[in-house]
Structure 1
């Protein structure tokens, strides 16, 4: 395809060829997506004949031919008589807008909000299926309200969808401000900005909705914040996302997420210290923790869970401290599991038996 692209660019120097009016400033003649090719030119017979000659030469060199059954020609701003002449010249049928590419409708006019409905509906269906299959109502509520924070801030390192989306979109603003050598950046500067500074640019009332949405991010981030997220020529969305979170760091998160503990044990301890565990008020009534403390010859952690945050925050990175946390979380998990067995399976183990397993 590189050979074909170079051939088209060379042919564009022919005096008989005219660029598409929207592609003239960028001297854009073709776009390649995987094995698909889009070719643009002015709706004149001489321009179409130049393109036809390039495709004929490409076929003779490579043996690849234009599939007339899978290819179409699209027009805009010319008469019906001219359409028939150009379609006959290329021996292609006329395509009708909106054109669907990868399931998304494309049109020569401004992209409409409903054009994205097909994508939004697919995302919604996938999210609904995943949530209903793997999470209860209470689980979904907890996921929404309490986990969309980094672990250091007391969350589960899930990202807030809206804020993360804004952080990713900020990458486009950074690319425009840095004038990155990309086709779409050149297109924005040529068609929309026309030499104006992005940060002082006034959005016209009749502009496309997606460009208006992108420009609206200037109200969420300033120039310094976005430029600071660019490191060594690359944009880091995580940096600008982290700066948008205004929460106090919790001191106990390193102990809660100690790698010595099993993942399911860590998650339960996170629920305990954040008072999300429904059986939390019953933990102190069980004798398992006392049995484990006897086995360890002393009270390593506080008996009341209200003091566990302070105790976990005081743990250091030494191995002995990590072992103490690991035993605590294993004790909590075993007690919680036995309590559930009492309710749902009508079976229970003794405190001595559970402590022995721990």
Structure 2
């Protein structure tokens, strides 16, 4: 990570007026707001987090979520959203929280506990007090929306999918207004 920061903090800038460079000044605080490098650096950081999670969940003490174990899925990330999966035992949750803490210490990125929830299966509630001592997350309730899609441990009804279907239908109908084909 130090070589990345070296590239970011030692950059210098000039202003282009009518194609001619004028002046020269040093960057002092890293990336500027809106810099196209910012999302790329974030993706590099998330790649490191993903590898760290993959490595630590190989620990035999870690137990995968029952529906994710055969695929060895411990997490799903999209942009700055991250979902972690494990069995609801304290050891597995401790392994995941240790990863988040280690990642935060290395990268400087921290979990926003105000925007984070933990969802427990019914068999994990017997350890609820111990689990809540490990994490500062609020207890979430199903169904929950992730990237606009409702998620629940049980099959959802058609009515629960109605807002998503309406949104997709509106989006597709807007294509007709723009004279676009369905093929793109």
For normalisation by structure 1, the TM-score amounts to: 0.35
The equivalent of 1:54 in structure 2 is 99
The residue correspondences of 1:53-92 to structure 2 (distance < 5 A) are 53-92=98-137
Runs of 4+ in 1 over 6 A off after TM superposition: 127-131
1:264-294 C-alpha deviation (Å, 9 max, x unpaired)? xxxxxxxxxxxxxxxxxxxxxxxxxxxxxxx
The Cα of 1:50 is off from its aligned counterpart by 0.8
The residue correspondences of 1:44-193 to structure 2 (distance < 5 A) are 44-125=89-170
Question: Highest Rg: 1 or 2?
Answer: 1
How large is the Cα RMSD of the aligned pairs? 2.8
Among residues 63, 66, 72, which one is paired with 1:21 in the alignment? Answer: 66
1:80-130 C-alpha deviation (Å, 9 max, x unpaired)? 341232122112110000001233321122243233211222345567789
Query: Gaps (5+ residues) in structure 1?
Result: 135-155, 160-236, 239-358
1:136-189 C-alpha deviation (Å, 9 max, x unpaired)? xxxxxxxxxxxxxxxxxxxx9956xxxxxxxxxxxxxxxxxxxxxxxxxxxxxx
Query: Gaps (5+ residues) in structure 2?
Result: 1-45
Cα distance change on mapping 1:123 and 1:53 into 2, 3 Å: closer
- The structure whose residues are more often helix, as a share, is 1
The Cα of 1:13 is off from its aligned counterpart by 1.9
Equivalenced residue count is 138
The equivalent of 1:274 in structure 2 is none
Give distance in 2, aligned partners of 1:84 and 1:58: 25
Give distance in 1, aligned partners of 2:147 and 2:93: 26
Give distance in 2, aligned partners of 1:91 and 1:49: 12
Give distance in 1, aligned partners of 2:160 and 2:115: 23
The residue correspondences of 1:234-273 to structure 2 (distance < 5 A) are none
The residue correspondences of 1:195-210 to structure 2 (distance < 5 A) are none
Give distance in 2, aligned partners of 1:54 and 1:87: 17
Give distance in 1, aligned partners of 2:108 and 2:173: 48
Cα distance change on mapping 1:124 and 1:87 into 2, 3 Å: same
- The structure whose residues are more often strand, as a share, is 2
Give distance in 1, aligned partners of 2:85 and 2:175: 42
1:105 alignment partner, SS class: strand
The equivalent of 2:78 in structure 1 is 33
1:114 alignment partner, SS class: helix
Give distance in 1, aligned partners of 2:170 and 2:181: 20
For normalisation by structure 2, the TM-score amounts to: 0.65
